[in-house]
């Protein structure tokens, strides 16, 4: 082995020293990277959108359209000017039009064909509603009983149809079935009913219906019954005669009759159309809009065969609440607007004369009596039952409201205020 001169132990290892420099920017490579990233993002977005569009409708159908259900039904209300003067109305006087020539049978045929054309759309909105309830007999056999009535589709959204119908047929029903004009039948869900008017609203999921049925049905529109006057032409459809699917034509004979129900008073539209005492259905105007819900049970006994209906404009706030499943605020009185004669004899400018106080109602518990005149409710002046009902429905269960009344005492009429704790139906 040779000698290692000029070396020492300290020179046995040497560390390599490196200088790291930034790599020169390759602009072409950077450009392709950016293009690649943008292209990937675009492709991902397109794929996600396609998948969402395919999956979302299926998910909504399987979930029963819960997203659409959360949106409340809103029914535009009709305005009726309140004059505050008892007995005064804005009803115009109908004009008499002279017929220039003698009407022939052909003219009657043309008129009826026009009536059929007007009613064609609303008739497609008519449905048959059945409430089914199971009962057990003495031998433990299940017996199905059902109530039946007519209904009409009046509202829709992306996932459901809303149907106005009679409460008595579906009250306490375990299952509600709806049959459409094409003969198909589906299960419905009862939302809410109102015992005072006997009306109820049920809903039908679109997902449970055939596509063919959805293309053949119509949604009827709720019209304005405040514009009705005596002599106005009307059409009755549904089951006004006790038989299915008649189309009857006639005229309004009165719009001034009243129907008192708990906490409300409705105008009763009477016509010269002959029907059945057990009939049901709706009244249409000449534009095909619903202006009345047929109510044959109201009025004197000897008028039960004349088709009568509740004013739909007054019913719209109730129908909206029923459609949204809201509680119906309840105070428990039956009243009428103070008449002109009463106003003159009592010096009361206006209000509601209490004709009856319901047993065990919030009104009775608070001390309101028959013969009282309500002049304000919740610090709002009251001149009509419609205004009273509108203000009442803004309140909730358990809410304490102040009711201003005029009561006759030993020394004449005096004013007082009563606090009423409201309930719901």
**Residue 270, strand partner residues:** 254, 308
Please give the backbone phi and psi of residue 97, each rounded to the nearest 5 degrees, phi first: -110, 130
pLDDT at 302: 80
CA atoms within 13 A on the CB side of 181: 18
pLDDT in tens, the chain (425 residues): 444 444 444 444 333 344 444 445 555 555 556 555 565 655 655 555 554 555 444 444 334 443 444 578 999 888 776 544 333 444 556 566 666 678 899 998 999 999 999 999 999 999 999 999 876 555 555 556 678 999 999 999 999 999 999 999 999 899 999 999 999 999 999 999 999 999 999 999 999 999 999 999 999 999 999 989 999 999 999 999 988 889 999 999 999 899 999 999 999 999 999 999 989 999 999 999 999 999 998 888 888 899 999 999 999 999 999 999 999 999 999 999 887 777 777 677 789 999 999 999 999 999 999 999 999 999 999 999 999 999 999 999 999 999 999 998 877 788 999 999 999 98
Contact call for residues 383 and 398 (beta carbons, < 8 A): no
| Chain position carrying tokens 């009442």 | 392
- The whole model's pTM is what? 0.76
pLDDT at 143: 53
pLDDT at 142: 57
User: For residue 174, how many other CB atoms are within 10 A of its CB?
Assistant: 10
Domains of the chain, CATH where assigned:
126-216 (2.40.10.10), 221-323 (2.40.10.10), 329-424 (2.30.42.10)
User: From CA 425, how far away is CA 423, in angstroms rounded?
Assistant: 7
Which H or E element spans position 294?
strand 290-294
């Amino acid at each position: 082995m040779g000698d290692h001169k000029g070396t020492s132990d300290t020179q046995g290892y040497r560390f390599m020293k490196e200088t790291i420099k930034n790599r020169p920017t390759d602009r072409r490579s950077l450009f392709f990277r950016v293009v690649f990233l943008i292209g990937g993002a675009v492709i991902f977005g397109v794929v996600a959108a396609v998948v969402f569009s395919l999956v979302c409708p299926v998910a909504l159908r399987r979930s029963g359209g819960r997203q659409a259900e959360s949106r409340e039904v809103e029914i535009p209300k009709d305005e009726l000017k309140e004059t505050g003067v008892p007995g005064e109305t804005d009803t115009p006087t109908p004009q008499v039009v002279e017929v220039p020539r003698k009407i022939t049978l052909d003219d009657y045929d043309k008129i009826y064909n026009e009536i059929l054309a007007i009613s064609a759309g609303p008739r497609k909105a008519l449905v048959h509603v059945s409430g089914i309830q199971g009962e057990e007999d003495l031998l433990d056999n299940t017996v199905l009983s059902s109530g039946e009535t007519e209904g009409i589709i009046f509202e829709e959204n992306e996932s459901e149809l809303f149907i106005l119908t009679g409460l008595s047929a579906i009250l306490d029903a375990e299952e509600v079935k709806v049959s459409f004009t094409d003969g198909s039948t589906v299960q419905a869900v009862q939302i809410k009913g109102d015992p005072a008017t006997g009306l109820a609203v049920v809903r039908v999921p679109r997902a449970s219906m055939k596509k063919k049925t959805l293309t053949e049905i119509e949604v009827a529109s709720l019209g304005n019954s405040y514009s009705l006057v005596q002599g106005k032409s009307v059409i009755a459809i549904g089951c006004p005669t006790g038989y299915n699917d008649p189309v009857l034509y006639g005229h309004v004979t009165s719009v001034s009759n009243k129907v008192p129900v708990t906490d409300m008073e409705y105008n009763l539209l009477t016509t010269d159309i002959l029907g059945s005492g057990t009939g049901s259905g709706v009244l249409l105007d000449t534009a095909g809009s619903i202006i009345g819900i047929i109510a044959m049970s109201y009025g004197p006994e000897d008028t039960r065969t004349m088709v009568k209906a509740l004013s739909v404009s007054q019913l719209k706030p109730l129908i909206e609440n029923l459609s949204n499943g809201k509680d119906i605020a309840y105070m428990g009185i039956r009243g009428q607007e103070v008449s002109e004669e009463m106003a003159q004899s009592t010096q009361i400018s206006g209000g509601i004369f209490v004709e009856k106080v319901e047993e065990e109602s919030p009104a009775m518990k608070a001390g309101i009596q028959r013969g009282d005149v309500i002049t304000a409710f919740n610090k709002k002046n009251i001149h009509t039952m419609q205004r009273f009902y509108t203000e009442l429905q803004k309140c909730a269960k358990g809410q304490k409201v102040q009711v201003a009344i005029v009561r006759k005492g030993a020394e004449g009429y005096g004013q007082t205020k009563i606090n009423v704790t409201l309930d719901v139906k």
